[in-house]
Amino acid sequence: MALGLVYLRPLRLAGIDALSASEEEIHKSWELLNRWITRKSLSRDIEIGYGLLQHSALQDGTSGSSYEACIEVPKSLTTGEAGELKRSSLPGGAYFRRRCSGPVASMLGELQTMRSELDRGGNVKIDLGRPIVTVLLDIKQLRSGDGLRSNLLIPACSSKMSCVLNQVA
């Protein structure tokens, strides 16, 4: 499937760290987050999930705390409730995108393939200063084990200079 380019706005997120970037730990972090959403009666308010993955996790798959299962912080959430989850943010900017349909377990392999295609792309610049993002378009599907629609996003640099500045910062 072809790669596209999208621009994301910055978002305030809250989530749960996976113990590692293994498929099993990533799935566990989504299960914990979904249980928390159900316990707080937020199921109707939240449909999209954001997985933040560090670039190094694509190489070894076991880097500690290199994946975070997140949701956008709902306006109805109190400060105390939001404090039960790790606070983070989704950096805005340009991202290379590939649509994916299938289980969470297949996403790491798809991202590795996508990353190697981009590395061979010549003029393509990957921004190593921002995380790789999986946008899960219906996190409720995780509970039923059905196929999951998602967007796999690898951050893009607008120029070689901005990539260097992000790595230094």
Which structure tokens are listed for 10? 């910055």
Nearest to 67 by CA among 113, 117, 9, 24: 24
C-beta separation of 68 from 86 below 8 A = yes
CA 135 to chain centre: 6
> Tell me: the pLDDT tens digits for 146-164?
578 889 999 998 655 445 4
pTM reported for the whole predicted model: 0.84
Q: Which domains does the chain have, with CATH numbers?
A: 4-168 (3.20.80.10)
pLDDT score, position 165: 45
pLDDT score, position 142: 65
Given a cut of 50, the residues of the chain with pLDDT beneath it are: 61, 161-162, 164-169
